[in-house]
Amino acid sequence: MFSSTIQPELVSLFSSTSSDPLSLFSTSCDTTLPSDSFIHLLVDKSSLPTPSAPAVAISPPSSHETSDDTESNTSGLCLGQTVLHMQSPTLRTTYIRCPPNSSKQLGLKHPWIHIQVRDMGREWSLEVGLVDRSGHAGVVRLSTFQKEPRLKLSKRPSSPPLLHLPLSFPPISSRPLTAWSTVTLHLPSLLPHFSASSLLPRGPEDAHMPMLEGSSVPSGAFSHTSYVKVYATCRLRRIWFSQSGPSKQAPWEFELYGDEYR
């Protein structure tokens, strides 16, 4: 997708305020749950416009639910911007993916990925496909329901190994300044974990799993990102890749702009 292009220092893959935010993405929803599984653009502070019937958007978690303290009721700064609301009780069926065609690769060589996301109080996952310079592919998945790092090897040669990592958002009780978070990953540093035998499942039921020896797991130098996949349930503002980490300030238009306390 981008492998044959000149890649600038920073590439914005998704922006919820652009004229066509999902132009580079495919979308998927659970058609058996039309009221609960959908993807919809709305303003974060007001949750408007509402999705088309029969879909009903859940409300973001509120500090009012955990404390009667006045100060805590003003925690959680909302954005005065349009964001992408993704909702579903079934994570696997509701997501956005870039590139939309699974047979193509994203081809971005930037070592850092940044995702601006709002915790909606439900389970959420993010998936990134990585490729090393030998052409070996792996999948990194971050999930709020995952308790500890795990490495899963498939018996099918066509299925890349999966590195499943836990992810947690700041609790509302900690009174964060905003309900939004920027998840930043240094992709090259994740590749060595695909060779960590200590992360493989343990137990008799896992005896049939293939061993790392001889497996085509990514272990060399980082080459590029093959795809990005964001699952429900969350609100999404922006996804971008960069050559620099969080120590370098992002452009002003990439900042999270609040409108009012909620």
pLDDT tens, residue by residue, 199-240: 998 765 554 555 555 567 888 899 999 999 999 999 999 999
Tens digits of per-residue pLDDT, 74-130? 334 788 899 999 999 999 999 999 999 988 999 999 999 999 999 999 999 999 999
| 4 lies in some domain | no
DSSP letter for each residue of 136-201: -EEEEEEETT--S-EEE--SSTTSPPEEEEE--PPPGGG--SBSEEEEEEEGGGGGGGGG-GGGS-
Average pLDDT over residues 174-203: 87
Query: Predicted confidence band at 71 (pLDDT cuts at 50, 70, 90)?
Result: very low
The token pair that represents 110 in the structure block: 């930037």
| 150 lies in some domain | yes
The pLDDT of residue 5: 86
| 250 lies in some domain | no
Tens digits of per-residue pLDDT, 124-171? 999 999 999 999 999 999 999 999 999 998 877 778 999 999 999 877
| 5 lies in some domain | no
Residue 109, number of CB atoms within 10 A of its CB: 17
The pLDDT of residue 220: 86
Are the beta carbons of 249 and 116 closer than 8 angstroms?
Answer: no
The SS3 of residue 233 is coil
| 60 lies in some domain | yes
Q: Which residue's structure tokens are 């959908």?
A: 38
| 256 lies in some domain | no
**Can you tell me the distance from the alpha carbon of 118 to that of 148, in angstroms, rounded to the nearest whole number?**
22
Structural domains of the chain, count: 1
Range of the domain at 152: 11-245
| 253 lies in some domain | no
| 261 lies in some domain | no
Residue 39 has pLDDT above 90, yes or no: yes
**Can you tell me the distance from the alpha carbon of 83 to that of 106, in angstroms, rounded to the nearest whole number?**
23
**Can you tell me the distance from the alpha carbon of 256 to that of 81, in angstroms, rounded to the nearest whole number?**
9
pTM, to two decimals = 0.88
